[in-house]
Chains A and B, each alone.
Chain A
Amino acid sequence: MTLKKFTDKDIILNTMRAYPEARFLIFDGKVYYNSIPDQSGAISADVYCVPQGHISLYEYNIDRVINRGIPGEPTTAKSIYPFITKQSAGASFRTAGKISYTNEFVYGDILTSSYPMSASITREYLPTAGQRDTIINTHTGESTAGAPIYSHYWALKNRLNFYGTLSEHYKVSSSYDFGHLSVRTDRDPWNKDNQTINLISIPSIFFGTKINPGTLSLKWYFTGSLIGELQDSKQNGELIEVVGNNTGSVAGVVMYNEGFILLTGSWNLGDGAPSIPIKADGTSDRPKWIYFAAGALDGVTQATAGADFVSASFDLSFKGQTDTQVMTMFTHARRGEINYSNNPTYIKYDQTKVIVSSSTTYQENPNKLIANTTTSSYQGFDNDFKRQVYISRVALYDENKNLIGIATLSNPVLKKEDEDIAIKLKLDI
């Protein structure tokens, strides 16, 4: 076995960037991801064992009755689930809360979780985004502001202001006068705390590192006809109406790195589109951006809103961005090198291997011949011997000569004595 050291020129590190496309169709209280239809299995109602419109994180349990890790329940369950023993390191599952983990489990207890883990987009309708509970002092009767009602919005407020340098529209409150720029001047200035916000959350598994700026498109369909479309055409997070009654207006912002869309556009869409039941409480309104994606796991269905809810459908599409670090290594088999194999068949068959073997001496045969592997074009004729090997794999070692990786060639490569060969290895990290 020959060990060769990499030089500085032999190793290249770079980043491979990919842009996975994601498309969500929201209709009738259901989410369809990348046009994947419902697939029923032979054993479970959904072959992926996840709710409709979700993706399975590992796609571990395919077409099974899911076992939630509770002994004996259900009896027919045969699915993969993880478990862990409580130890001093404190490792646990998210399903076991901090207090529960401390109080309900002793060291040595087994904590279980379940697969599959699933993810999908979620819509939250926030009528007054900054609303807080009211706390009344029972002694004095004074009322003070309590905890926020919509904690998800409050968690984003700092980040929204942080992106205020990209666009004024990110800012939670602004007194900037858009009158000379915007079609609609009646919305300036604003305070998002007092606005109705349509918050759409996109898990990062759908986009990777970030949503690729300039690729976002939101389409509002009414009875199958496109009545409004938003795009982030400026690539600065502003969602600008490109189809509709107020083209050029900003109807919301997108947080590319975090995967949140906040829509505040509350003007009517579509000429003459009537009111339809679009809220979970069954109340009706005309199509607006604040109702975009109604039915995306927000409790709005035909049952809660009304039969005409099916007039609305929505299309949300974007491209994500994934960065994969790639290590490229060039291994060289130069002429005069890598010309011997340790494979037992490299030596000619049926030769004396040991010429002396006694209690004091062990001597191998120094005249063993290498098998002639050169091919001949003629039957019954052996070509002249040439020193050559077939390279079938390349092993990678660390500085302590620990084997840390093996690259196997799809086909063995012939390495002749007078040839240089470079084998390129790629390792995605």
Chain B
Amino acid sequence: MPNQFQPFNLNTDITSTKTLLHEAIPLTGAIYAFGTGSYIEENIKNFAHGQFQSVYDYPYLSSSANHIFDLTVAYDETSDLSASTSIQNAKKINMYNQMTQVLLGYSKDTGEVVQKFESDLNINNDDNYMTSVFLINLSRLITKDQIKKGSFTMKLATGSWVDATTAGEIITLTDTSASADSGTATVMGGDYGLLYQQGPIKEPTVYGLVFYQAGVVVLTASLFQNDLDDTLQKDFSDQLGDLSQNQKTVREALTGSTISASCNALRHRICDISFNNTTEINSNIYFCRVPWNRFNYSTNPTYVSGAQIQVKNLASDTPISYVTTIGLYNSAGELLATAKLSEPLRKDPTNELTLRVRLDY
């Protein structure tokens, strides 16, 4: 119990601040079996509903496994891929609508129509649609509060299937134009940036979006559609055991393969994903001011011996105390928290102290 309190001046003694803690997250191809050509993978979980597949960093049956991301395929009902003959047609459309509804919301003009993904930062101008997409939903475990803007990089093999397994035609997608204060747009699902292709293989253009707070990456399917000269339809997947036709273009895969099979093909093409996540740490800083004429005595039982202050030899000596702990009390005098000093601080009437107490939450 303190023998005296020093009240805070709420205007000058208390302030708040925010610190951003980041983690560098590299998701290497070894996790999701890039280039192996194998479909027997313990890290990958497929579901009976067949709407997406989950990727773990370790065999998912192990309690040590961390969920890394979910993969799925979606297209809009206005896409020319949409047809009643397409495999899981309704699920792919519903997936597109759900993701756009959550991330983008409804059209400003009509109010009843869900927005579509666009490869620009103006979602209301109804152009540059991306109606057939791959969706990568990164786990909250690794994105934390949000992906750091400008830090996202993804390497993809875009060659034909044989080349893909040997890392052919690898392109790098980055949100290089995005930063904390520019290069992004804000929509219902938070801020999003554009994924530009870097490298000589394809024309520099936007091939996807990254939603920073939601942790969702959208890749346009056209990324895998054509060869270098944009004329030759490439093999996107080699779906062993998937229907009758094995070598499929991306168009054939999206219409004639299950979502899981298309996810397998995409997953084998992801060489590398890396980004920095962000955790916001909010802090209150209390400046505890110790004036010269206060806290020079202690109520510690060892402070006196035989009715004499231990640290004084003569009656004329100034009192000395050593500050070891700061107690923070509320207005009712109830102890809320204590702060310990790393080492005791000498306090006597000739000095004043300002102790800075930081409370993170």
Contact = CB atoms under 8 A, between A and B. Distances in A.
A86 to B, nearest CB: 10
Contact of A91 (B19, B24, B25, B58): B19
A78 B22 contact: no
Interface stretch (A59-67, A234-242, A388-396, A398-406): A59-67
Nearest to B24: A81
- Among B23, B30, B65, B356, max chain A CB count under 10 A is at B23
Contact of B17 (A62, A81, A85, A88): A88
Interface in A61-93: 62-64, 67, 69, 78-85, 87-91
A47 B66 CA distance: 13
- Among A81, A88, A89, max chain B CB count under 10 A is at A89
B139 to A, nearest CB: 12
B58 A98 contact: no
A91 B23 contact: no
Given A78-B28, A84-B22, A98 B285 contact: no
Contacts of B281: 91
Nearest to B272: A78
A57 interface: no
A59 B58 CA distance: 11
Q: Is the interface of A mostly helix, strand, loop or mixed?
A: loop
B21 A87 contact: no
A48 interface: yes
Contacts of B125: none
A78 B28 CA distance: 7
A32 B25 CA distance: 30
A43 B30 CA distance: 9
Contacts of A82: 21-24
Interface string B45-68: 000000000000110000011100
A335 B260 CA distance: 44
B283 A89 contact: yes
Contacts of A90: 356, 358
Given A48-B64, A62-B57, A62-B65, A85 B23 contact: no
Interface string A321-356: 000000000000000000000000000000000000
A348 to B, nearest CB: 16
Contacts of B360: 91
B26 A60 contact: no
B22 A80 contact: no
Contacts of A83: 22-24, 276
A59 B57 CA distance: 10
Interface in A136-171: none
B342 A47 contact: no
Contact of A79 (B22, B26, B285): B26
A27 to B, nearest CB: 24
A89 B65 contact: no
B339 interface: no
A60 B28 CA distance: 14
B83 interface: no
B24 A47 contact: no
Nearest to A87: B19
Contact of B20 (A42, A62, A85, A88): A85
A83 B285 CA distance: 22
A425 to B, nearest CB: 20
Contacts of B28: 64, 78
B181 to A, nearest CB: 16
A41 B276 CA distance: 25
A175 to B, nearest CB: 21
Nearest to B342: A98
Given A78-B26, A98-B342, A89 B66 contact: no
Interface in B1-31: 17-26, 28, 30
Give the bracket for the number of chain B residues in contact with chain A.
20 to 34
Interface string B255-279: 0000000000000000000001000
Contact of A63 (B17, B58, B285): B58
Contacts of B64: 47-48, 59, 62
B153 to A, nearest CB: 13
A84 B24 contact: no
A59 B66 contact: yes
Contacts of A62: 57-58, 64-66
Contacts of A67: 24, 26
Contact of B25 (A43, A69, A80): A80
Contacts of B276: 83
Contacts of A88: 17
B357 to A, nearest CB: 11
B275 to A, nearest CB: 11
A80 B65 contact: no
Contacts of A42: 30
B302 to A, nearest CB: 11
A156 to B, nearest CB: 16
Nearest to A110: B22
A89 B342 contact: no
A168 B142 CA distance: 50
Nearest to A61: B57
A80 B58 contact: no
B358 A84 contact: no
Nearest to B356: A90
A101 to B, nearest CB: 13
B283 A91 contact: yes
Contacts of B142: 80
A59 B141 CA distance: 11
Contacts of B18: 89
A30 to B, nearest CB: 20
Interface in A27-60: 42-43, 47-48, 59-60
A156 B234 CA distance: 70
Contacts of A80: 23-26, 142
B26 A84 contact: no
A91 B21 contact: yes
B250 to A, nearest CB: 28
Contacts of A89: 17-19, 283, 285, 358
A112 to B, nearest CB: 8
Interface in B330-361: 342, 356, 358, 360
Contacts of A47: 58, 64
6 contacts: A62-B65, A67-B26, A83-B23, A87-B19, A88-B17, A89-B19
Given A43-B30, A59-B66, A80-B142, 12 more contacts: A64-B28, A67-B24, A78-B28, A80-B25, A80-B26, A81-B24, A84-B20, A84-B21, A84-B22, A90-B356, A90-B358, A91-B21
Interface of A: 42-43, 47-48, 59-60, 62-64, 67, 69, 78-85, 87-91, 98
Closest 7 pairs between A and B when the two form their complex, measured CB to CB: A91-B19, A89-B17, A78-B26, A62-B58, A78-B28, A82-B23, A89-B19
